[in-house]
Amino acid sequence: MNRWPLPEPMQAALAEARSGALVGEVPIGAVIVKDGAIIAAAHNMPRGACDPTAHAEVLAIREAAHALGSERLEGCELWVTLEPCPMCAGAISHARISRLYYAASDPKGGAVEHGARVFEHDQCLHRPEVYSGMGESEAGDLLREFFRARR
């Protein structure tokens, strides 16, 4: 259990994850913050959208880019409930997101501290500041319950 309340952006990302679970999507949520305000929010939608790229991070990046009228999200923060996969880490780099906050680590599919470690490659065009662990237990519980109910 957390000793302090979670920051509002992580609470919002967790709420997005819960919304995704309600429609049968893997419960991963993401929000993008610019100048202290949430400008985009999304949850996983690959099944509902019939789109394998419809991860929460990618959808939030698309929404934020549209809201700002730019493909570059410099000065933005991405808050997500699970360590980004290689595709999402690449999108984060290309979008030039300044800071990445993620709740739970993903030893199987993550690409920040596990697997591909996208931001550590010389070929990585942009490396955000990375912070992990805020909301880890809440995000992990959502994922465990989701998959437990499907087994």
What's the CA gap between 79 and 116, in Å, rounded? 20
Rounded to the nearest 5°, which phi and psi values hold at 51?
A: -140, 110
Active-site entry in 16, 57, 77, 138: 57
**89-103 CB burial, b ≥16 within 10 A, e <16:** bbbbbebbbbebbbb
Q: 85: which residues sit within 8 A by CB, 6+ positions away?
A: 55, 106, 109, 110, 111
* Residue linked to tokens 């990375």: 130
Our answer to whether residue 74 is catalytic in this structure is no
Report the catalytic residues: 57
